[in-house]
């Protein structure tokens, strides 16, 4: 019995001190839009996920270009910005190959990128249209329950927050948070001075997206 308990303790200790093994990607694109926006958001989301849902991300995200073969090294890639996005045909093909192969893209409209993002994703999946995900979709019901869909972080145009998806052969390959501004909610508290309850809701929803992807719930 003592040997068994010692073994269990050593296994637990190994996991507790295991070095980070997974990297999160931030997608760099052309077109002049600020792909680099929300500098503190992903490190905060990474820390929250590592602490609350048992992920093992490295503390900082990696920047990966849309046309890079390295894209395949990231199970989860985040895209944000306020303005123009341009994907070349080669970049669109590379992004499609990544998503078809099992990758996942979360796009978060930081206000002003909607028409550009939708236009460019038509290059990636010309046969698909974004559909609004119902509130009972599993992405809203992982560790944290969001019975009314995405939390509203910033008002923008006063529209309701909406979560859209691209579904390829039955699998959600891209989740698009619109009129929500999750990324702003993930930022350091002093960046936007959002109430802590709002920041926590944003981080919880971000963790749901991550958990959904890694649990292969899609």
Q: List, for residues 95-119, the tens digit of each pLDDT value.
A: 999 999 999 999 999 888 999 999 9
Q: Is residue 14 assigned to a domain?
A: no
Provide the whole-model pTM: 0.88
Q: Is residue 16 in some structural domain?
A: no
pLDDT digits (tens, 9 = 90+) for 172-186: 999 999 999 899 899
Q: How many domains would you assign to the chain?
A: 1
111 assigned to some structural domain: yes
- 4 falls within a domain: no
Q: Is residue 143 assigned to a domain? A: yes
Give CA–CA dist 29/34, Å, rounded: 9
Domain encompassing residue 39: 21-131+138-214
CATH number at residue 156: 3.40.50.12140
The verdict on residue 11 lying in a domain is: no
SS (H, E, C) the chain: CHHHHHHHHHHHHHHHCCCCCECCEEEECECCCCCCCCCCHHHHHHHHHHHHCCCCECCCCEEEECCCHHHHHCCEEEEEECCCCECCHHHHHHHHHHHHCCCEEEEEECCCCHHHHHHHHHHHCCCCCCEECCCCCHHHECCCECCCCCCCCCCCCCCCCEEEEEEECCEEEEEEEECCCHHHHHCCHHHHCCCHHHHHHHHHHHHHHHHHHHCCCC
Percent of the chain with pLDDT over 70: 90
User: Does the residue 176 lie in any domain?
Assistant: yes
* Cβ count within 10 A of residue 38: 24
């Amino acid at each position: 019995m003592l040997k068994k308990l010692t073994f269990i303790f050593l296994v637990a200790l190994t996991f507790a001190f295991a070095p980070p093994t997974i990297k999160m990607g931030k997608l760099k694109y052309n077109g002049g839009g600020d792909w680099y926006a929300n500098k503190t958001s992903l490190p905060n989301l990474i820390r929250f996920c590592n602490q609350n849902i048992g992920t093992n991300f490295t503390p900082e995200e990696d920047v990966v270009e849309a046309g890079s073969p390295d894209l395949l090294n990231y199970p989860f890639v985040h895209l944000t910005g306020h303005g123009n996005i341009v994907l070349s045909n080669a970049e669109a093909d590379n992004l499609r190959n990544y998503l078809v192969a099992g990758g996942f893209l979360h796009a978060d409209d930081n206000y002003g990128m909607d028409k550009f993002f939708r236009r460019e994703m038509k290059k990636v999946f010309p046969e698909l249209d974004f559909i609004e995900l119902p509130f009972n979709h599993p992405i809203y019901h992982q560790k944290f329950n969001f019975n009314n869909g995405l939390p509203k972080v910033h008002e923008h145009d006063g529209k309701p927050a909406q979560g859209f998806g691209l579904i390829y052969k039955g699998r959600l390959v891209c989740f698009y948070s619109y009129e929500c501004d999750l990324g702003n909610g993930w930022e350091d508290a002093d960046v936007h001075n959002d109430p802590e309850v709002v920041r926590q809701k944003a981080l919880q929803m971000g963790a749901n997206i991550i958990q959904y992807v890694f649990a292969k719930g899609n």
